[in-house]
């Protein structure tokens, strides 16, 4: 692509190469050489032509002596000029709009370390497709007549140091007269009308944040106030039916995090805005979150995990920032675990055990791909592997840390981490140092095993049973595992006849440790780590992990791939109720009622692990009969569901619902976990 500039591209290339050579080192090799402190942006959205025009004034401090600067920039936006601090002199630059998506600037003179520098950028271009952005198949910035959105990650303005570029800002948008702009501001936003009827909205950030995430369009706005926080929700006509439901859930989540971590940092206002389905399902900026259209119009249950994770980013990632994207575990993993803790507060013990099992299976799906510490550099951050390692393994590592140091110390650690680094950028070493202090001991072994390395233990147990003269039973055995550097307490549970249980805890240091247990009833089974304290692998988990991969394909409507994974799981364990059950859901989604019913029957005849599969298999089997107008047989299935007494995930309420009225042939079924 050609640029409009006084110099030719070749001349600029030689000039900039000379500047970089004169610095004696590249910015990539030397690390950050500038720190952006403030943005002043005036942007105009032209929806009919899908175009944005902008003038951005970037103020930054030189961290080292420099004659150049490199900033990131969306490739769809062509920079026409960059002016020096005097506001007049045009500087030489090279904009890479295809590969690196950045702009390299010759500052025109050598600046000493500590110098304050201000540059003015003029640029414009179309924002209609993913082209020019960081993702090949998802728009992170869009301008169009049906509505617009601009996310920080799209690089719609020039910034430096992704995920660490915290700065104050004053950002103005000029939009059509009937549009509203959704964004967070430290000051009230009052639109100013121009003579041509267009309106300008100005947003202020007085504290350094990852700024630049907004939506604009003909919104319907609803406000919900709870516990001193105003929740403003912006949706398009036709999406307003569930606004109250979303607002109440968000209010509850905000209150939970306020109590658990410390006060919400963005004043008394939180914003939620609707965007289209061509972007991320969910995205967060400072004081604002975005959800795709489908989330507002779906008839499924609220996406509680997504909501809780997005709200958690206000604490982890927005208020407490990152020194670099390499420390993404501190925001993304902790945001996911915050969502886990919120779900825990809303669930029964059995339901929470199911949630932990779900996270564990997702964490194991790609565990060997990279360590938590290396994943941001080695894995595409939009891939299932990245989600598995950073979000799910990351969340489980926080859960293991909680188990290791205890609830009181863990929750105190999170509050201390938040208060200590509020408004600052952190790295994994900073968190580890605080964890050491909270625990009162050195946790390097823990972080070395779970954050810096790959590999998880596989527990195996050998034991013998002795009958005493008193008629009791003694079990003596050895627990073995495969990691030399494993250290930690491991629970051993003995299940006996009559529903009796006894438990002991061993201190496992290395690959094996012995245990002794006693029981009045005949021993039936030995279970190692019954509460899933550790991220680990087993034959049963191997099957579950394959099923979980199938569920991910299912959720993306990749039905053939999903079926392939479910059947692969059945090769590992032909009696896996979990695999049969998900095959049933898959064929129910495709309205193949007979096949779906067959697979739910197989689930009922399988190992029934987890146990709640029984009640939901009866319910879904009843649904298939209702779908074929066999009401009497459907009612019989719902009665069987009632007889189980299991109320996992509201099963009894669902059975009552379908006993009262037949199942309707809905577009999709709930993917129970």
In a domain, 228, yes or no: no
Average pLDDT over every residue of 196-220: 95
Q: Which of 181, 215, 233 is the last residue of a domain?
A: 181
Percent of the chain clearing pLDDT 70 (strictly above): 94
21 with 167, same domain: the answer is: yes
How far apart, in whole angstroms, are the C-alpha atoms of residue 334 and residue 399?
A: 10
Q: Which residues of 334-371 are buried (b: 16+ CB within 10 A; e: fewer)?
A: bbbbbbbbbbeeeeeeebbebbbbbbbbbbbbbbebbb
* pLDDT tens track for 470-484: 888 999 999 999 998
* pLDDT tens track for 117-133: 999 999 999 999 999 99
Least confident of 179-188, 338-347, 532-541: 532-541
Least confident of 24-33, 94-103, 618-627: 24-33
- Measured in degrees and rounded to the nearest 5, phi and psi for residue 116 equal -95, 130
In a domain, 61, yes or no: yes
Take residue 141 and report the two structure tokens written for it: 């910035």
- In this prediction, residue 153 carries a pLDDT of 95
* Segments of 151-198 assigned E as strands: 167-175, 180-182, 192-193
Q: Can you give the CATH number for the domain in which 337 is found?
A: 1.10.390.10
In a domain, 562, yes or no: no
Do 452 and 432 touch, CB atoms closer than 8 A? Answer: no
Do 535 and 393 touch, CB atoms closer than 8 A? Answer: yes
**Burial of residue 52 (number of CB atoms within 10 Å: 0-12, 13-18, 19+):** buried
Question: Would you say the C-alpha torsion 253, 258, 261, 265 has a positive or negative sign?
Answer: positive
Range of the structural domain that residue 627 is part of:
570-660
Q: What angle do CA 260, 266, 271 make, to 5 degrees?
A: 100
32 with 174, same domain: the answer is: yes
337 with 424, same domain: the answer is: yes
How far apart, in whole angstroms, are the C-alpha atoms of residue 415 and residue 411?
A: 6
Q: Which residue is associated with the tokens 């943005």?
A: 39
How far apart, in whole angstroms, are the C-alpha atoms of residue 446 and residue 568?
A: 34
In a domain, 190, yes or no: no
445 with 503, same domain: the answer is: no
Confidence of residue 539 (pLDDT cuts 50, 70, 90): confident
In a domain, 143, yes or no: no
116 with 159, same domain: the answer is: yes
605 with 466, same domain: the answer is: no
Average pLDDT over every residue of 327-332: 97
Do 622 and 663 touch, CB atoms closer than 8 A? Answer: yes
How far apart, in whole angstroms, are the C-alpha atoms of residue 127 and residue 147?
A: 12
Q: Can you give the CATH number for the domain in which 608 is found?
A: 1.25.40.10
How far apart, in whole angstroms, are the C-alpha atoms of residue 430 and residue 418?
A: 12
- Measured in degrees and rounded to the nearest 5, phi and psi for residue 573 equal -150, 95
47 with 163, same domain: the answer is: yes
26 with 119, same domain: the answer is: yes
25 with 116, same domain: the answer is: yes
Give the chain's domain count: 4
Question: Would you say the C-alpha torsion 182, 183, 185, 191 has a positive or negative sign?
Answer: negative
378 with 505, same domain: the answer is: no
484 with 429, same domain: the answer is: no
In a domain, 398, yes or no: yes
Confidence of residue 312 (pLDDT cuts 50, 70, 90): very high
Average pLDDT over every residue of 559-573: 95
C-alpha distances in Å from residue 86, one per residue of 91, 110, 172, 255 = 11, 15, 22, 48
Take residue 427 and report the two structure tokens written for it: 């790295």
Take residue 251 and report the two structure tokens written for it: 């209010």
DSSP state letter for 184: -
Q: What angle do CA 287, 289, 292 make, to 5 degrees?
A: 165
In a domain, 56, yes or no: yes
Q: Which of 476, 504, 528 is the last residue of a domain?
A: 528
**Burial of residue 4 (number of CB atoms within 10 Å: 0-12, 13-18, 19+):** exposed
508 with 361, same domain: the answer is: no
How far apart, in whole angstroms, are the C-alpha atoms of residue 426 and residue 414?
A: 14
Q: Which of 528, 551, 581 is the last residue of a domain?
A: 528
In a domain, 387, yes or no: yes
């Amino acid at each position: 692509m050609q640029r409009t500039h006084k110099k030719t591209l070749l001349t600029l290339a030689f000039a900039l190469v000379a500047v970089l050579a004169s610095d004696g080192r590249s910015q990539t090799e030397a690390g950050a050489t500038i720190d952006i402190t403030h943005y002043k942006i005036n942007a105009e959205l032209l929806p009919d032509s899908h175009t944005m025009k902008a003038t951005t004034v970037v103020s930054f401090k030189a961290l080292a002596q420099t004659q150049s600067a490199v900033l990131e920039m969306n490739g769809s936006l062509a920079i026409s000029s960059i002016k020096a601090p005097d506001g007049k002199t045009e500087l030489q630059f090279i904009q890479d709009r295809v590969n690196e998506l950045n702009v390299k600037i010759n500052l025109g003179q050598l600046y000493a370390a500590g110098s304050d520098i201000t540059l003015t950028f003029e640029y414009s271009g179309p924002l209609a497709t993913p082209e020019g952005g960081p993702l090949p198949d998802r728009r992170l910035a869009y301008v169009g007549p049906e509505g617009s959105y601009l996310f920080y990650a799209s690089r719609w303005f020039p910034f430096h140091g992704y995920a660490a570029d915290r700065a104050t800002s004053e950002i103005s948008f000029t939009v059509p007269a009937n549009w509203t702009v959704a964004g967070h501001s430290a000051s009230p936003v009052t639109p100013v009308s121009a003579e041509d009827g267009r309106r300008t909205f100005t947003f202020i950030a007085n504290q350094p944040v990852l700024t630049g995430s907004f939506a604009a369009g003909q919104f319907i706005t609803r406000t919900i106030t709870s516990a001193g926080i105003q929740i403003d929700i912006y949706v398009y006509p036709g999406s307003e039916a569930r606004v109250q439901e979303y607002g109440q859930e968000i209010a509850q989540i905000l209150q939970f995090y306020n109590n658990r971590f410390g006060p919400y940092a963005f004043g008394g206002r939180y914003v939620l805005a609707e965007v289209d389905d061509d972007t991320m399902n969910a995205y967060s900026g400072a004081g604002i979150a975005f959800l795709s259209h489908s989330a507002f119009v779906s008839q499924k249950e609220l996406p509680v995990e997504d909501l809780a994770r997005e709200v958690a980013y206000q604490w982890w990632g927005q208020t407490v920032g990152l020194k670099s994207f390499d420390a993404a575990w501190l925001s993304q993993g902790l945001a996911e675990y915050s969502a886990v803790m919120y779900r825990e507060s809303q669930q029964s013990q059995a339901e929470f055990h199911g949630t932990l099992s779900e996270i564990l299976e997702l964490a194991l799906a790609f565990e060997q791909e990279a360590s938590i510490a290396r994943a941001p550099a080695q894995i595409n951050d939009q891939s299932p592997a990245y989600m598995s390692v950073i979000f799910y393994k990351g969340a489980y590592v926080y859960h293991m840390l909680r188990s290791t140091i205890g609830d009181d110390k863990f929750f105190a650690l999170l509050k201390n981490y938040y208060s200590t680094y509020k408004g600052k950028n952190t790295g994994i070493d900073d968190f580890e140092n605080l964890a050491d202090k909270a625990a009162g001991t050195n946790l390097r072994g823990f972080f070395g095993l779970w954050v810096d390395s790959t590999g998880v233990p596989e527990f195996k147990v050998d034991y013998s049973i002795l009958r005493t003269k008193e008629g009791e039973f003694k079990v003596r055995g050895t627990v073995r595992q495969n990691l030399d550097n494993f250290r930690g307490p491991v629970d051993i549970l003995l299940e006996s006849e009559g529903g009796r249980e006894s438990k002991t805890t061993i201190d496992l240091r290395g690959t094996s440790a012995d245990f002794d247990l006693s029981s009045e009833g005949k021993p039936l089974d030995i279970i190692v780590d019954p509460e899933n304290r550790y991220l680990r692998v087993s034959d049963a988990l191997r099957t579950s992990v394959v099923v979980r991969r199938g569920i991910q394909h299912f959720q993306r409507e990749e039905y053939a791939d999903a079926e392939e994974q479910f059947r692969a799981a059945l090769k590992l364990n032909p009696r896996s109720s979990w695999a049969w059950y998900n095959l049933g859901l898959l064929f129910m989604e495709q309205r193949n009622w007979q096949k779906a019913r067959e697979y739910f029957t197989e689930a009922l005849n399988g190992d029934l692990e987890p146990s709640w599969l029984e009640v939901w298999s009866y319910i879904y089997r009843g649904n298939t009969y209702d779908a074929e107008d066999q009401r009497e047989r459907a009612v019989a299935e719902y009665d069987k569901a009632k007889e189980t007494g299991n109320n996992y995930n509201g099963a009894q309420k669902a059975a009552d619902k379908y006993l009262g009225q037949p199942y309707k042939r809905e577009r999709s079924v709930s993917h129970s976990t």
